[in-house]
Amino acid sequence: MPAERGRPPLTERRRQATRVEIAETAAALFADRGYEATTVEDIAAAAGVSLRTFYRYCSSKEDALTPLVTSGVGQLVDALAAQPADEPLTAAVDRVFATPMSERRLAEAEPGRALVRLMGSVPALRSHWLAAVQELRDRLLPVLAARTGRPADSLEVRLLAGALLDAVTAAAEHWAARDEPEDLLALTHRAMAFLRLDQL
């Protein structure tokens, strides 16, 4: 049977699953023991993989969390590309976050909040986070170009991509830092409305 159109081959999906498993294991160990006290050997052993396998998927300890960092925003980019181009950006992002996949992610909020706090408090992890967000901004450019009718390399589209990711990131950091957080979707909507992204 041919592979489903647009879906990665089985081997690639297995690789992605392994990357995510290592990332989730690392996040749990960092939260439990602390980043500095956790070694690559600890992560590999807890994930049930060899050191060789770990380094096949991760270049370093701080790189282990990259799949978790990029998955949420990466799904946002992919889902946003599937929304009608003439729909206001704020409404399109609201629709993306209302998908069943996003709702399941938000239902298990505490691990996500702990991850965002961890990424913000450890400089080595934060630098990886910022680098990953920069890569995702580049992926956003053609999506936003299609929505605005401007070239992907135009100043306006670059600024819009940066503003959108800043809004999502700031909302997530605000959400993670509060003992009794507001709803993340509502915070994201507020951030986008404050920046008046629909008017850009």
Whether the CB-CB separation of 27 and 68 falls below 8 Å is answered with yes
Name the residue with tokens 């709702």.
103
> Tens of pLDDT along the chain (200 residues)?
444 455 567 687 788 889 989 999 999 999 889 899 999 999 999 999 999 999 999 999 988 988 887 776 677 788 888 888 888 888 888 888 776 555 555 556 777 888 888 888 888 888 888 887 888 889 999 999 999 999 999 999 999 999 999 998 899 899 999 888 788 888 988 999 999 988 87
Which residue, among 83, 71, 22, has the nearest Cα to 30 in the 3D structure? 22
Which residue, among 10, 150, 169, has the nearest Cα to 76 in the 3D structure? 169
Question: What's the pTM?
Answer: 0.77
Q: What's phi and psi for 35, nearest 5 deg?
A: -65, -50
48: left (phi over 0), alpha (psi -120 to 50) or beta: left
Q: CA–CA separation, 110 vs 26, rounded Å?
A: 16
The pLDDT of residue 121 is 87
Count of alpha carbons within 13 angstroms of residue 33, beta-carbon side? 15
Burial class (CB in 10 A: 0-12, 13-18, 19+), 17: exposed
Tell me how long the chain is. 200
Tokens representing residue 114 in the block: 């702990």
Tokens representing residue 50 in the block: 């060899």
Average model confidence (pLDDT) across the chain: 85
The pLDDT of residue 1 is 46
The pLDDT of residue 16 is 84
The pLDDT of residue 51 is 95
